[in-house]
Amino acid sequence: MTAPQIDFAWGRAGLAALLDSCDVFVILDVLCFTTSVDVAVARGAEVLPFPLERYGADEAARQGDALLAKPRAEAAGGPSLSPASLQHLAAGTRLLLPSPNGSALSAMVGQKRAFAASLRNATAVAAALQQAGERIAVIAGGEHWPGGALRPAIEDLLGAGAVIARLDGALSPEARAARAAYRELKDEIPATLRASRSGQELIAAGFPDDVELAAQEDVSAAVPALVEGRYVDVGMRSS
């Protein structure tokens, strides 16, 4: 099998630039969309990504026979974008999960194959990717500054580097840089996420458990793949 070519880019513009040339996409939005996806599908749920800026989440949930995740501040203990809120999700649940970054990237891939990766399932996703033998695009979602400009996020850089470090293939210079960042900080990931801008924002908002869950490395064997508009665990089929 031919070793894959592996590229790395940031956000929607990066994904758009690689959309025609790559066959498989790996989306990283560690705080918190792809971590939430991992927690949910590992419990046997399905996740329907829904870009936050779109209207009609309630109707989309009804049409998809799905439970709508509420904003963190409004969830009152129910499912939300918070990974901690999904730890007791029932198997078979179909969850519509609005988010500003990971869901938007998921909506952009069209008919291309796509996976949701995080630090929690980096090895499992990399093992599934290694069998593809094609060109892989690893996309770090990042966050946004006030005004909408992309804010590179260290948690997504580390998550992307963690996946790339577990792949054998021809790496672009950008992919090599992401791998190098992960290797530099891999022994300090929990502290790094807690000290990061995104981590500090979540901790200040009262969600420190989300940061801790996102910092756990290789605790999950789930492989969330985007199948007909929803993320499902294909880990058993990938092994």
DSSP codes, 134-194: SEEEEEE--EE-TTS-EE--HHHHHHHHHHHHT--SEE-HHHHHHHHHHHHHGGGHHHHHH
Amino acid type, 67: L
Residues 6 or more apart whose Cβ sits within 8 Å of residue 222: 38, 41, 42, 121, 124, 233, 235
- State in Å, rounded, how far the first CA of the chain is from the last one: 16
> Rounded to the nearest 5°, which phi and psi values hold at 171?
-95, 135
Name the token pair of 92: 């078979």
Taken in order of first residue, the domains within the chain and their CATH numbers are: 5-33+100-228 (3.90.1560.10)
Query: Edge to edge, what strands does the sheet with 135-140 contain?
Result: 67-68, 94-99, 46-51, 230-233, 224-227, 113-117, 24-28, 135-140, 5-10, 170-171
In the prediction, which pLDDT does 238 show? 43
The one-digit pLDDT tens for each residue of the chain (239 residues) are 678 999 999 999 999 999 999 999 999 999 999 999 999 999 999 999 999 878 889 999 999 999 999 988 787 789 999 999 999 999 999 999 999 999 999 999 999 999 999 999 999 999 999 886 689 999 999 999 999 999 999 999 999 999 999 999 999 999 999 999 999 999 999 999 999 999 999 999 999 999 999 999 999 999 999 999 999 999 855 44
Give the max Cα distance, the chain.
Answer: 50
Kindly provide the residue ranges of all beta strands, DSSP E only, lying in 56-134, ordered along the sequence. 67-68, 94-99, 113-117
Buried b vs exposed e over 86-102: b needs ≥16 C-beta within 10 Å?
beebeeebbbbbbbebb
In the prediction, which pLDDT does 205 show? 95
Dist CA 194 CA 172 (whole Å): 29
Residues 6 or more apart whose Cβ sits within 8 Å of residue 78: 69, 70, 85
Predicted structure pTM score? 0.95
Which residue has tokens 């070519």? 5
SS3 219: coil
Residues 6 or more apart whose Cβ sits within 8 Å of residue 168: 3, 130
The Cβ of residue 72 has, within 10 Å, a number of other Cβ atoms equal to 17
Amino acid type, 66: A
